[in-house]
Structures are given as C-alpha cells and as structure tokens.
Amino acid sequence: MHLLNDMMQSVIITIYPLLKNEFALSFVQIGMITLTFQLTASLLQPVVGMVIDRRPLPYSLPVGMCFTLSGLLLLSVAPSYPLVLLSVALIGCGSSVFHPESSRIARTASGGRYGLAQSLFQIGGNTGQALGPLLAAAIILKLGRSRADWFALPALLSIVILLQVSRWYRRHIDVRARKRAASDSPRFPAPVVRHTIGILLVLMFSKFFYLASISSYYEFYLIHRFGLSAHESAHLLAVFLFAVAAGTLIGGPFGDHIGRKRVIWFSILGCAPFTLLLPYVGLRWTVALSVVIGLVLASAFPAIIVYAQDMLTHRIGMVSGLFYGFSFGMGGLGAAVLGLLADHFGIDFVYKVCAFLPLLGLFAALLPDVRPPEELQASAGSA
C-alpha cells in the first residue's frame, strides 16, 4: 500500500520540467509546489497521530486516499498555477492521514521485529517513489499532463485494499488497547526524551534537506550540467530513488541486529565524503555517487523512527506523525530555500552548499542507549 501511495505522490516531482515550461515557472515557484505538498502533509501528521493515540480510526486510511485521488484528478486538468498548488495540497492531506496510522499498523503486525517491519513498510514507499518517475516519464511526459488522471486507477485500487486492511486492524484494536494500558507510562525522564528527540530532529534535518536537493532539482541539475533530456534525467532520478529504497530495506534489520545508534551514525555521517565529491565529477561518477548517497543516507530513517518509537512506546501515533511530518516539512522547506538559491546563484551552487549537510551526523554521538522494552528485559534476565 505504501508503494501505491508514494508512487502517486512522486508524479508531482517528475513533471516539474513540464510544469515549468507550461506555466513559465521560476525555481522558487517550483520549490513552492514542493513546499505546499510537504507542509500540508507535515503539519497535519502529528495532529493525526495524537488523535489516533487517543481514539483509533481504522477507516481513516481509505478516507485519506480519497484526498489523494481528488488531488491527482485536479492536477491533470488544473489550468493555472494556484490550482496546481491546490491539487498538491490535497495529495499532501492524503499523505498526512496515511503515514501515522499505517506506521502504527506496521508496528502492530511486526511480531517484535520493529526495525524490519519499519523497513518493509518504508521500502514500499521508496519503491513507489522510484517507480513513479518511470511511469510518469512514460505516460505524462510523453502524452501530456492531462494523462495524470491515469494515476487515479492506483488510487482506486488503494482504496479497495485499504478497506480490507482497515477491517483487519479493527479486529486488532482491542488487543492493542490492552498492550497500551500495560505500557502507558513514559519509560524515560522528560529531559532525556527532549534531548534525544531534539538530536534526532537535527539528524532528520540534515538528511531530508539534502534529499530535497536531489528529489526536487536532480533532473534540472543533470539537464543544466550534462545536457540530458527530460526523459533521461527522469530515468536517472528513478535510479537514485531505487537506491534510496534499497538503503531503507537495509537500515531497519541492521538496526535490530547491531543497534540503531550505530546505523544512524554510519548512515548520515558516512555519506559525507560522497556528497562533498558529487559537485565536481562527470556524469558517470555523478550517477554512481548518487546511488551510493541514496543507499547510505536512506538507511537512517527506519532506525530513527523505531529509535523514537522505542523511547515513546505510549505515543506511537504521535511520534510517527511527528517524524514523518518533520521529514515532509524539511523536504518542502528545503525545496523552497534551495529553489531561491538556485535562482540567484545557480543549480551548481546548491549542490556545493548541500554537500556539507551530512556532517551534522556528528550529533549522533550524543544519543543515549535506547532499546525496546523486550530487549531491556532480556538483558536484565541474562545479567
């Protein structure tokens, strides 16, 4: 389901060159499209998470997908830039409902392997983000923006599937409520929680601000620097997004086995040498380095999400909504800010500046040791 949801959302970034030509947009206006989508997704997600912590809403998922469906249909026919912004805002509203509740469902169905479950959940989204540009390039970039309505078919399929998921989830709500009652008190002092969440948000900032430079402007960078066509650059964007999907799959299980703090440390700081080199190499090395960056950098997100969930086991919906919302918000804010820089200083300058963001991974050294309750009990028993 995450695959279909994020595949439909990735249509937006893929058709940026088409929208830029059709409406004569600047890079700032392109960034505003991303910002509108990301803000509607990010600001609502923590609110949705807090609501479902108090009162589960199993049928909210198909309702949210209806927002995505309406946004896609409007995007295919929007005659003006303001209506394009409205269409992506509707898609963002659908995302804000989908992620907190579906992340909770993934944890409920994990059987205790939280990192693996979160990775599998996220790789669906990352794979959808990678497939979206390929399908959009084959359909929309060739046949025109009006063919975006073809992506309403996956939205309708998603609604049907989510109705079945919602029925399953409704049957498990009572069991989840009993487990929640048994662990409804905070596991860590409030200062430790604030300190840790603050560091995780700094790491998320470095990760998603950098990813915004590629997801929103990689096509323009390849076109400007290497003279590629829109179709060629869309295919290379898909290659990068598949690397992100692979990194997401690796990050969760590794966190289960070697510790989430180690995965976070390696993932964000470890890609710094590659990001620093990227703006100064040719096309082949640009593609190769972008694959390595996507693979390494993406492995942090499942570990970060589960790390925060392990710390706030009594607020799974809220913390999932907070971090997914923050990731969307940083992606949108990054796209807007980087668009402003690109208009004034050029797209090459954007990549040279963003190359230093992964160095913020040094903050991972300040994270405390946080593990699931089951692991802590097992350690105490063996001791």
End-to-end, the C-alpha distance of the chain in Å comes to 42
- Which residues touch 209 (CB under 8 Å, ≥6 apart)? 330, 331, 333, 334, 354, 357
Strand, coil or helix: 80:
coil
pLDDT band, residue 275 (cuts 50/70/90): very high
**Is 85 within 8 Å of 217 (Cβ atoms)?**
no
* pLDDT at residue 330 in the model: 78
Per DSSP, the residues of 325-370 read HHHHHHHHHHHHHHHHHHHHH-HHHHHHHHTTGGGGGGGGGG----
Q: How far apart are CA 188 and CA 315, in angstroms?
A: 13
Residue 47 pLDDT > 60: yes
Residue 371 pLDDT > 90: no
- Which residues touch 23 (CB under 8 Å, ≥6 apart)? 29, 80, 81, 84
**Is 320 within 8 Å of 47 (Cβ atoms)?**
no
Residue 363 DSSP symbol: G
**Is 141 within 8 Å of 234 (Cβ atoms)?**
yes
Sorted by where each begins, the domain ranges of the chain are 2-382
pLDDT band, residue 380 (cuts 50/70/90): very low
Q: How far apart are CA 22 and CA 207, in angstroms?
A: 31
Residue 172 pLDDT > 60: yes
* pLDDT at residue 281 in the model: 93
* pLDDT at residue 186 in the model: 60
**Is 244 within 8 Å of 291 (Cβ atoms)?**
no
- Which residues touch 126 (CB under 8 Å, ≥6 apart)? 6, 241, 244, 245, 248, 298
* pLDDT at residue 383 in the model: 45
Q: How far apart are CA 311 and CA 316, in angstroms?
A: 9
* pLDDT at residue 182 in the model: 47
Predicted model pTM: 0.65
Identify the residue with better confidence: 276 or 325: 276
Instruction: Estimate the crossing angle of helix 152-182 against helix 2-14, to 10 degrees.
Output: 130
* Six token digits for residue 124: 């669906």
Q: What is the mean pLDDT of residues 271-288?
A: 93
Mean pLDDT of the chain: 79
**Is 124 within 8 Å of 2 (Cβ atoms)?**
yes
pLDDT, one tens digit per residue, over 90-101 is 988 888 887 777
* pLDDT at residue 284 in the model: 93
Instruction: Estimate the crossing angle of helix 2-14 against helix 16-23, to 10 degrees.
Output: 40
Query: In the block, which residue shows the tokens 């989908």?
Result: 98
* pLDDT at residue 153 in the model: 85
Strand, coil or helix: 234:
helix
pLDDT, one tens digit per residue, over 312-342 is 776 777 777 778 778 777 777 787 788 888 8
Radius of gyration of the chain (CA): 20
Angle at 295 (CA atoms; ends 289, 297), nearest 5 degrees: 95
**Is 301 within 8 Å of 330 (Cβ atoms)?**
no
pLDDT band, residue 176 (cuts 50/70/90): low
User: 2-382 in CATH: which number?
Assistant: 1.20.1250.20
Residue 307 pLDDT > 90: no
Nearest Cα neighbor of 336 from 92, 39, 32 is 32
Identity of residue 125: G
What percent of the chain lies above the pLDDT cut of 70? Answer: 86
Tabulate helix, strand, coil % of the chain (nearest 5).
90, 0, 10
**Is 45 within 8 Å of 322 (Cβ atoms)?**
yes
Of these ranges, 121-130, 301-310, 312-321, the one predicted with the greatest mean pLDDT is 301-310
Of the listed ranges 2-16, 294-308, 366-380, the least confidently predicted one is 366-380
List C-alpha distances in Å: 335 to 32, 202, 213, 331.
7, 17, 7, 6
Q: How far apart are CA 294 and CA 248, in angstroms?
A: 9
Q: How far apart are CA 8 and CA 378, in angstroms?
A: 42
Q: What is the mean pLDDT of residues 246-265?
A: 76
Of these ranges, 39-48, 331-340, 349-358, the one predicted with the greatest mean pLDDT is 349-358
Identify the residue with better confidence: 111 or 29: 29
Of the listed ranges 14-28, 47-61, 209-223, the least confidently predicted one is 47-61
Of the listed ranges 171-175, 370-374, 378-382, the least confidently predicted one is 378-382
* pLDDT at residue 323 in the model: 81
Q: What is the mean pLDDT of residues 165-182?
A: 63
Q: How far apart are CA 37 and CA 116, in angstroms?
A: 28
